[in-house]
A = this chain, B = another copy of it.
């Protein structure tokens, strides 16, 4: 079976680019700089279900994305998480956190409803991400 992005992930995000293993998505929530990596593998729910070679790529993609968020936004902390209680398809959140953000120091999930970007702000944010990810 081939890879199909879970409809809930598709609805909540905008695509940024395809990395080697994962599709890189941006959460459409301007409260946090929030990216999501989805390994393009069918029927994988857990990190330990990935092939070892894919896992090695995934951790490098997590590090790459975390480092770029840190460079772009100077956050206090990067949060990395593969939860999947609501959307079982394996996906990894990489989120820039700030000491004055509305959830700090708690995790971001369920704290406040998503605040979608205004159209122009969305384009600007995507442009800024493309500038660094396509370099």
Q: Which residues of B contact A79 (CB under 8 A)?
A: 81-85
- Would you call A88 an interface residue if the criterion is a C-beta within 8 Å of the partner chain's C-beta atoms? yes
From A88, which residue of chain B is reached at the shortest CB distance?
B77
- Would you call A37 an interface residue if the criterion is a C-beta within 8 Å of the partner chain's C-beta atoms? no
- Would you call A9 an interface residue if the criterion is a C-beta within 8 Å of the partner chain's C-beta atoms? no
Q: Tell me the smallest distance from the CB of A78 to a CB of chain B, in Å.
A: 5
* Residues of A bordering B, CB below 8 Å: 45-48, 50, 52, 55-56, 58-60, 62-64, 66-67, 70, 76-86, 88, 97, 104-107, 109-110
Closest A-B pairs by Cβ, 7 of them: A85-B105, A81-B81, A48-B63, A59-B59, A48-B67, A80-B82, A48-B66
